[in-house]
Amino acid sequence: MIIERIISDGLAHYSYYIGSGSEAIIIDPRRDIDVYINLAKKYNQRIIGVFETHRNEDYTIGSLNLSKLTGASIYHGSKLDFGYGEYVGEGDVFKLGSVEISVLETPGHTDESLTYTLREIGEKEVYAAFTGDSLFAGEVGRTDLYGESHIRRLSEALYESVFDKILNLGDGVLVFPGHGPGSVCGGNISVRTFTTIGYEKKTSKVLQFKDRDDFVNYKLQERFEKPPYFTRMELYNKNGPPLKDLPTPPPLKIGDLKKHADNSQIIDVRSPEAFYTAHIPGSINIWISGLPLFAGWILNYEQPIIIIKDDGQLLDPILRYLYRLGFDNIGGYLNNISEWFKSGGKYNRSGFISVEELKNRLTDNKIFLLDVRDSKTYSELGFIQGAYNIYLGYLRERLSDLPKDRDIYVYCDSGFKTGIAVSILLKAGFSSVAGVIGGFSAWVSRGYPVHRT
Amino acid sequence: MIIERIISDGLAHYSYYIGSGSEAIIIDPRRDIDVYINLAKKYNQRIIGVFETHRNEDYTIGSLNLSKLTGASIYHGSKLDFGYGEYVGEGDVFKLGSVEISVLETPGHTDESLTYTLREIGEKEVYAAFTGDSLFAGEVGRTDLYGESHIRRLSEALYESVFDKILNLGDGVLVFPGHGPGSVCGGNISVRTFTTIGYEKKTSKVLQFKDRDDFVNYKLQERFEKPPYFTRMELYNKNGPPLKDLPTPPPLKIGDLKKHADNSQIIDVRSPEAFYTAHIPGSINIWISGLPLFAGWILNYEQPIIIIKDDGQLLDPILRYLYRLGFDNIGGYLNNISEWFKSGGKYNRSGFISVEELKNRLTDNKIFLLDVRDSKTYSELGFIQGAYNIYLGYLRERLSDLPKDRDIYVYCDSGFKTGIAVSILLKAGFSSVAGVIGGFSAWVSRGYPVHRT
Amino acid sequence: MIIERIISDGLAHYSYYIGSGSEAIIIDPRRDIDVYINLAKKYNQRIIGVFETHRNEDYTIGSLNLSKLTGASIYHGSKLDFGYGEYVGEGDVFKLGSVEISVLETPGHTDESLTYTLREIGEKEVYAAFTGDSLFAGEVGRTDLYGESHIRRLSEALYESVFDKILNLGDGVLVFPGHGPGSVCGGNISVRTFTTIGYEKKTSKVLQFKDRDDFVNYKLQERFEKPPYFTRMELYNKNGPPLKDLPTPPPLKIGDLKKHADNSQIIDVRSPEAFYTAHIPGSINIWISGLPLFAGWILNYEQPIIIIKDDGQLLDPILRYLYRLGFDNIGGYLNNISEWFKSGGKYNRSGFISVEELKNRLTDNKIFLLDVRDSKTYSELGFIQGAYNIYLGYLRERLSDLPKDRDIYVYCDSGFKTGIAVSILLKAGFSSVAGVIGGFSAWVSRGYPVHRT
Amino acid sequence: MIIERIISDGLAHYSYYIGSGSEAIIIDPRRDIDVYINLAKKYNQRIIGVFETHRNEDYTIGSLNLSKLTGASIYHGSKLDFGYGEYVGEGDVFKLGSVEISVLETPGHTDESLTYTLREIGEKEVYAAFTGDSLFAGEVGRTDLYGESHIRRLSEALYESVFDKILNLGDGVLVFPGHGPGSVCGGNISVRTFTTIGYEKKTSKVLQFKDRDDFVNYKLQERFEKPPYFTRMELYNKNGPPLKDLPTPPPLKIGDLKKHADNSQIIDVRSPEAFYTAHIPGSINIWISGLPLFAGWILNYEQPIIIIKDDGQLLDPILRYLYRLGFDNIGGYLNNISEWFKSGGKYNRSGFISVEELKNRLTDNKIFLLDVRDSKTYSELGFIQGAYNIYLGYLRERLSDLPKDRDIYVYCDSGFKTGIAVSILLKAGFSSVAGVIGGFSAWVSRGYPVHRT
């Protein structure tokens, strides 16, 4: 029996290859499916099924691509009206070599959410549970995706799914969830890559609620961000996403870049430090590892995307990150921004500042200090005195909160999201913007004072 | 936290890379250590420790190589007098990023055997146990390595190690053993790649003994083969194996091959079917995946080894398999045996026969039917009427059991070990030898009668 | 400036990646175009053009696939009515970064054949010539593809193309032809991978004809085989081949294999030696490296193809070889033929014989000795006394030449084509067939007598 | 016959793998020899010889490493007293499969310089010439390495070697030199990757001198830089370099980095733009592709080297570049400089300026404009008015030329060498230093005025 976890960086998305005998199934495949095809080749197995734990909203599902290539059937929960695949429900069982896969309906994160359990044929005990976004290591799924008014109902459902169904499977059952730490689908997912029901019952904070109402109240007060691209992912995944391949955009000559710049979204994937010194006017800075989490907040699906990078940065992960979020319209890329500089192309710079300098200027009322961390981090970890908090994701909608006549200093956790924020402000016409190098981490490391509301 | 299992095919040996923060440790490294170095590069971690669960006898340990390259410390159990590394004992604790590793003395498989437990700092619960050859999925370690007279003592020790120590760690604890299915270090190791204490307690047959004496009696009647190369591995691993790199032997010209043939061990790694038709006289047939298990039975450490292969077969795994068993003296290889045939080189053939033909000849008293499966399989699964059982590993010592004047038909489970046996007999001068294609599997698949003692 | 030659094994087909500045072109791309895409990524260049030297008949052109993915224009000679792409003619010039590509019409091999010359902008001298199948290292292209009646006309044209045009470009000009040694597109192509006009003029035998008529007479007496699949390649390449991707066939269970066997073409890609011992009845033996040259002689385009292989053999090259010849209908594969044997599946064997045994039986008139080398080799190198020559490619059409009541012994150059022939004869119902191990090479190496007509 | 060119980036060093039959030789191997070993594996050939064209001075020779691993013999020219290997001289011939390699003594670049010619056995004509640093595409070797007083003598020798020996080999002879464009071993090496004697004779400027004296006078006025590390390379390559493997340095924790910083050479391999914004005080900025050319100017061989990089930058090429120059003492690396910023570590910044701003400030006498391009470029392409030229390589020796009380603006060709210069000046205590983004290229692209002496 083979169980391989495939980790999609940034989204912290876990998909699974389960093989037994001459066949295999995939749980929650991502859109760039070459990884599954290559595993099937390696193990000489035929992919016969794709099992979705739920619709998913943070990435484009690869089920249709995989089914097209392999002929595999696609299975969904029946509580959502999917445009493709087949429905399965509580108690359905599928045989795969020497194991069988059973369906457990575990609504809560979404209505159609399923948990798949794995049993060795001939054994009574459940061996493993693929819990999707119902149960994570150290966490449970968020219940706010349908909006405020559904949280109570979904949290109650999740309580029953987790406490009455999943946790009863047995302490020795392996748990393979849909996400790891860093995902936006759960608050405090642990860094442990494997876990069990027994271990979770003992160590996961949210599983210590013995009372349903306490659990529901806890979920009711939770606050998560919901990126705008979720809407498109939900639509794609419900109806079936476009059957596009991973794009192979062309390198751009400087002349072509200049020609297309106005009608495109230019993203500069270098580090914030490089961006601050010099960047193409109007470009948005998103560091590469930040693309999975922030491209969906920042980019639109209409305009072509142009990628600006440094010579040593690999193009492939950039394209995969965008493709997984459904961004198929890549106009081209500039392999080395130094070409732009050498061509005499115009560039902008921004300010930047150390925490030391910031500390010395805090009392200066010419500055406006902007904290772009999420509100939960802001309130839980504290902030720098005087900071005004707008989560990076909402910055473009709330630009009118910001003064045009003051020096805006931006900080985040460590400095990367700050690069995005600075680039958004510059593009929006703010003239004096500076990023704080090292962010709140540097501030705290220096032992500078932290304020709390 | 990163836990990566590295599977060494054939030996079914599991080693582990555990990384947290900027550091990593390795549990039970194999000799070709590039896999660990590459993981450390991938995760930007420094390998600071090598933790041995026990001396090991079925492969050459890579600890010294790894230590030489990285400066990592090597840790052993103290109940054996090692020639390198440091000793650790019950209760010793090592910090690694956000986790800590504790030592549990779990003698039984060997006296110095250890189990390492992993705990997340701040949690009371044990998260995972690295059980070496004490506890496997579906099995426990063999207790016969010190010889007949020690089995009782070791089995009693193993009972206490497993039932009183390991199984008490908690049902939700992940179990990461030293071997998977196919290993010679335990009888019936399961194909499940992950497991937990709770799952093992419920499903592992050998863990159902509630009484120590029953367990010990069960172990006392167990019978395993012990390949002769174990002696060398034990010596190597106790004192520190030779610090050689993976060899890069030269391709041989036909002329050089002829010159060196007499003083070398020639192994032909093609399929038995190809071998039967035509092979270099005196060569021993061991199919590639069979090298980890059988090279140590068949080859000696004195003469250089010459490898004969087909064009499409990869050299690298052959070299690794040999290197892991301490075979460093590789004289060269013939990339494509067709060069030999084209050169007009002499070759031998052997007979071969289908199960259908065999069935028709069974009553013919000119034939001698040789079963080279291990004695346990022979007695448990049954055999073909009239078959004389000598386990492949002992064939060379028991050639005198065999008649010189009859047609010897050889079978094994599926036909691969038969290739080895046929080649041994031919080399020993038996003139009429034939392999049964498809072996006992084919016989059973055809529904032919199976005998039992 | 970058010039990379891409060698397609077996066909000995050379295609070229030429890059300069931010752009690249491809000359004569093969159908599995990932190699060009990867080069373009490596060099950060955009593939803007595909230049065909001629229609080609020995493989499926990848131009349409490449154009679809990159938007590159496709260029052909105008003397054939292509179903896609654009025409270019004598003197047309294309700029690519710091070089320019000029068109030279060089009919002879085919009417529309072109040579592309490369010049560094600013230099008068030609730098390199991409001669397609007009001029090879040590050879010129064959002129018999249009049939007997066209050879004179085409040879005259080729003489002018080569002697009057190409050789006049200058002695220092680099020559990059369309094929290397082993190709069926020219007789005696040299093993030298690079060459120049000056070197060819001095060393190529066929270029020593000073007189046109001598050259034409030489070409008139040349004899080449023309595989039947050329017809389909010509059709594909003229009209545009099917835009399929490289197939990913499933591994087959034994049951599925049995079910599909009757309606499929089963090819067994193991060595002849393994095939002789045991093979699935009705299967055709083609060793992997023989697929590019012989699959097109043996397989049809209608029935699905099932691949039988040994565990250690790589699937990928098999699929690529078939795909390059337009075989898109792959029904599946059996990864390890031992599964068949273990399942008790029926198998056949064939005879085989050493050259020594053959020599001793030559006078036995119960045997029929079949030589399946091409007629040119047969007459030039000589043969074994009594051998009847039918080129392997025509064997199926000439089965009636062969006696049903004698033992047929087959030989070729070294033993591989013999495997194909033996499998064809067995499938056709000949009951006593044996392959000669080592073939004519072994015979000659032993110093046995060689006959000549 | 196989000829593979191995290009070592940055140094533009070409080495060659020549294989024929079952054997291969290497010409001028670099120190990281895995590339040759892998080719030998790919082609199933045995490396039997290493042929050095000359001692080399710009990189560490890999001959000893290769010989140690393969047993290959090493061959040198006899006019230098080598500490290892054997001597060969004019007319010596070596057989390799179907080709033979002959020695031609071609002094000039150095006294012991050799050209190796390749001939197909049975052909009179020379097929290819491996010209080392005697003849390049578009250039000949420099003749100043022994110092001013030897230039005339060496140039005369080179004239005879090139004009009387190499060029007489025949127009159709392929030329495989020791370097490509960008090398410091020749002035204007062309970008053409292949060439021939005929093509060179017609197009190479330096080969147009018909008169020896003209040639010698031309060489006498040539001026090249000679990096200080050449001395060590010469010593290494003469006596045999240290037999070290490619290092595998550990990632550093911030604490360890701080501890070792004072005794180490810290190199920051990010882009100049990132460096300007924030860098660890005292670190030297060398962009990755600049390491082969500039590490030898800047780094010493005594102190350990610490590498500072961005997350997305690959470590492997950095280590190879350093290893090729003999830098074996790598203390460790910081994988992601953001760790430093987050830890609150102190950092420095530098100024930077656009060409537009520079133009507006040119008349300001508070600024000091420093041009760090080599003097040849400075005089041939012109410069920005008022610029003071010190070649980057000599900057540290000429710091006293620079004013302490003015703003120093630095420019180079495109901005990368400027990063190095800025970091050197900052480390030396200059407080107001700024790099010109885009450098002289940007200045010219904008159409700003260029001055000439």
Start-to-end Cα distance in chain A: 53
* Nearest CA distance, D372 vs chain C (angstrom): 26
Of all residues in chain B, the one with the smallest CA distance to D38 is B248
The predicted model scores a pTM of 0.96
Bin C277: left if φ > 0, else alpha if -120 < ψ < 50, else beta.
alpha
Please work out, in degrees rounded to the nearest 5, the angle formed at the alpha carbon of residue D217 by the alpha carbons of D216 and D223.
Answer: 100
| CB-based contact, C453 to chain A, within 8 Å | no
Crossing angle of helices B291-298/B229-239, nearest 10°?
A: 100
Distance CA C107, CA A171 (A): 78
Is B283 found in the same domain as B217? no
A234-249 pLDDT tens trace: 999 999 999 999 999 9
Q: Return d(Cα B268, Cα B277) in angstroms, integer.
A: 13
Report the C-alpha gap between B293 and B184 in whole angstroms.
8
Say if residue D386's pLDDT is above 80: yes
Neighbours of D6 (CB within 10 A): 18
The partner residue sitting opposite A44, judged by closest CB among C22, C46, C251, is C251
Any domain includes B453: no
Nearest-by-Cβ selection for B415 from C338, C355, C414: C338
D124 with D89, same domain: the answer is yes
Say yes or no for a CB contact (<8 Å) between A355 and D338.
no
Give yes or no for B180 touching C (CB within 8 A).
no
D3 contacts in chain C (CB < 8 Å): 193-194
Cα D44-D46-D48 angle, rounded to 5 deg: 160
Q: Are residues B366 and B402 in the same domain?
A: yes
Judge whether D38 is closer than 8 Å to chain B, CB to CB: no
End-to-end CA, chain C: 53
Per-residue pLDDT, averaged over D262-288, amounts to: 97
A129-149 pLDDT, tens digit per residue, is: 999 999 999 999 999 999 999
Q: Are residues D318 and D410 in the same domain?
A: no
Taking the Cβ of residue D416 and every Cβ of chain A, the question of whether any pair is shorter than 8 Å is answered with yes
Q: Considering only CA atoms, which of C265, C334, C350, C356 is closest in space to residue C305?
A: C265
Q: What's the CA gap between B392 and B378, in Å, rounded?
A: 12
Asked whether the beta carbons of A298 and A286 are under 8 A apart, the reply is yes
Please check whether residue A452 lies inside any domain of the structure: no
Of D204, D239, D274, the residue that ends a domain is D239
The DSSP code sequence of A363-402 is T-TTEEEEE-S-HHHHHHH-B-TT-EE--GGGGGGGGGGS
* Residue D205 burial (10 A CB sphere; 0-12, 13-18, 19+): exposed
Contact between D135 and D201 (Cβ < 8 Å) = no
Hey, what are D55's tokens?
């001692």
Find out whether D384 and D401 touch, Cβ atoms under 8 Å.
no
Mean pLDDT (whole number) for C362-380? 94
Q: Is residue C393 part of a domain?
A: yes
Q: How far is B355 from chain A (nearest CA, A)?
A: 25
Same domain, D258 and D397: no
Residue C248: inside a domain: no
Whether D431 has its CB under 8 Å from any CB of chain A: the answer is no
pLDDT at D178: 97
Name the band, by pLDDT with cuts 50, 70 and 90, for residue D81: very high
- Cβ separation of C355 and B338 shorter than 8 Å? no
Q: What is the pLDDT of residue C224?
A: 87
- Residue where a domain terminates, one of B315, B342, B369: B342
- Whether chain B has a CB inside 8 Å of the CB on C184: the answer is no
Search chain A and give the residue with CA nearest B124.
A203
Q: What is the mean pLDDT of residues C84-96?
A: 97
- Residues of C (117-136) whose Cβ lies below 8 Å from D: 120, 123, 125, 127-128
Q: Which residues on chain A are in Cβ contact (under 8 Å) with B2?
A: 193
Q: Are residues A34 and A157 in the same domain?
A: yes
Q: Is residue D69 included in any domain, yes or no?
A: yes
pLDDT at B188 over 90: no
- How many residues make up chain C in this entry? 453
The whole-angstrom distance between D243's CA and the closest CA on chain B is 15
AA letter at C209: F
Mean pLDDT, range C331-351, rounded to an integer: 96
Mean pLDDT over D8-34 rounds to 96
Per residue, what are the HEC states of C178-207? Answer: CECCCCCCCCCCCCCCCEEHHHHHHHCHHH
- The H-assigned helical ranges of C299-399 are 315-324, 338-342, 355-361, 375-381
User: Helices H, strands E: what count in chain C?
Assistant: 15, 23
Per residue in C121-176, pLDDT (tens digit) is 999 999 999 999 999 999 999 999 999 999 999 999 999 999 999 999 999 999 99
Kindly state whether residue C332 falls inside one of the protein's structural domains. yes
CA distance C3 to chain D (A): 7
When CB atoms are compared, the residue of C22, C71, C251 closest to A251 is C22
pLDDT in tens, C406-425: 999 999 999 999 999 999 99
Nearest CA in chain A to B196: A172
Does the pLDDT at position D184 exceed 80? yes
Q: Same domain, yes or no, for C410 and C289?
A: no
Q: Is 90 exceeded by the pLDDT of residue B102?
A: yes
The chain-wide mean pLDDT, for chain D, equals 96
Q: Which chains touch C (3 or more CB pairs under 8 A)?
A: A, B, D
Chain position carrying tokens 């040999």: B322
- Cβ distance D251 to B45 less than 8 Å, yes or no, reads yes
Q: How many residues does chain A have?
A: 453
Q: Does C313 touch chain D (CB under 8 A)?
A: no
Contact flag D251-B315 (C-beta cutoff 8 Å): no
Q: What is the pLDDT of residues B251-276, one digit of tens each?
A: 999 999 999 999 999 999 999 999 99
pLDDT at A344: 95
- Give the model's pLDDT for residue C309: 98
Cα C445 versus chain centre, distance:
28
| Tens digits of pLDDT across chain A (453 residues) | 999 999 999 899 999 999 999 999 999 999 999 999 999 999 999 999 999 999 999 999 999 999 999 999 999 999 999 999 999 999 999 999 999 999 999 999 999 999 999 999 999 999 999 999 999 999 999 999 999 999 999 999 999 999 999 999 999 999 999 999 988 887 789 999 899 999 999 999 999 998 999 999 999 999 888 999 999 999 999 999 999 999 999 999 999 999 999 999 999 999 999 999 999 999 999 999 999 999 999 999 999 999 999 999 999 999 999 999 999 999 999 999 999 999 999 999 999 999 999 999 998 889 999 999 999 999 999 999 999 999 999 999 999 999 999 999 999 999 999 999 999 999 999 999 999 999 999 999 999 999 998
Rounded Cα distance between A17 and A50, Å, is 10
Q: Do A71 and A204 belong to one domain?
A: yes
Answer whether A170 sits within 8 Å of B201, measured CB to CB. Answer: no
Question: Is residue D223 very low, low, confident or very high in pLDDT (cuts 50, 70, 90)?
Answer: confident
Residue ending a domain, among D289, D318, D342, is D342
Q: What mean pLDDT is predicted for residues D95-117? A: 98
**Confidence class of residue D185 from pLDDT cuts 50, 70 and 90?**
confident
Looking at the structure, do residues A230 and A266 belong to the same domain, yes or no? no
- Report pLDDT digits (tens) over B8-64: 998 999 999 999 999 999 999 999 999 999 999 999 999 999 999 999 999 999 999
Confidence at residue A211, expressed as pLDDT on a 0 to 100 scale: 94
Percentage of residues of chain C with pLDDT beyond 70? 100
In this structure, the answer to whether residues D331 and D420 fall within a common structural domain is no
Identify residue B192 by its one-letter amino acid code.
R
Half-sphere exposure of A105 (CA within 13 A, CB side): 14
Q: What whole-number distance in Å separates Cα of residue D8 and Cα of residue D324?
A: 9
Domain CATH for B64 = 3.60.15.10
d(C-alpha A172, C-alpha A14), whole Å: 21
CB pairs under 8 A between C and D: 82
Nearest CA in chain B to A4: B193
Residue B342 and residue B80: Cα distance in Å, rounded? 54
Mapped onto helix, strand or coil, the DSSP state of residue D253 is: coil
Predicted pLDDT of residue A396 = 96
For residues B23 and B147, state if they share a domain: yes
In this structure, is residue A115 part of a structural domain? Answer: yes
B401-436 burial: b if 16+ Cβ within 10 Å, else e: ebeeeebbbbbbbbbbbbbbbbbbbbbeebebbbbb
Using the CB atoms, write b or e for B175-209: b if 16+ within 10 Å. bbbbbbbbbbbbbebbbbbbbbbbbbbbbbebbeb
**DSSP characters for D12-47?**
TEEEEEEEETTEEEEES-BS-THHHHHHHHHHT-EE
B431-449 mean pLDDT: 97
Residue A38 pLDDT: 97
Among D167, D110, D164, D111, residue whose Cα is nearest residue D135 = D167
- Maximal CA-CA distance, chain D: 74
pLDDT by residue (tens digit) across D407-451?
999 999 999 999 999 999 999 999 999 999 999 999 999 999 999
Q: Are residues B441 and B388 in the same domain?
A: yes
What's the pLDDT at C397?
A: 95
**CA nearest neighbour of C321 among C343, C352, C296, C339:** C296
Residue C193 pLDDT class (50, 70, 90 cuts): confident
Q: Could you read off the pLDDT of D125-135 as tens digits, one per residue?
A: 999 999 999 99
Mean pLDDT estimate for chain B: 96
Length of chain D in terms of residues written = 453
Q: Is A42 on the interface with C (CB under 8 A)?
A: no
Rounded to whole angstroms, the Cα distance separating D364 from D367 reads 6
Classify residue A314 as left (phi > 0), alpha (psi -120 to 50) or beta: beta
CATH of the domain at D379: 3.40.250.10
| Cα–Cα distances in angstroms (integers) from residue B63 to residues A288, B69, D438, in the given order | 37, 10, 51
Among the ranges given (D50-54, D111-115, D259-263), the one the predictor scored with the smallest mean pLDDT? D259-263
The answer to whether residue D430 neighbours chain A at the CB level (below 8 Å) is no
Which chain C residue has the Cα nearest residue A335? C44
Size of interface B-C (CB pairs under 8 A): 116
Which region holds residue D70: left if phi is over 0, alpha if psi is between -120 and 50, else beta? alpha
- What type of residue is A34? D
Looking at the domain assignment, is residue D249 inside a domain? no
Indicate the number of domains in chain C.
Answer: 3
What is the model's pLDDT at position D137?
Answer: 97
Contact B274 C273 (CB under 8 A): yes
> Does the pLDDT value for residue B123 go beyond 90?
yes
CB contact at 8 A, B194 and B203: no
Domain limits for position C406: 351-445
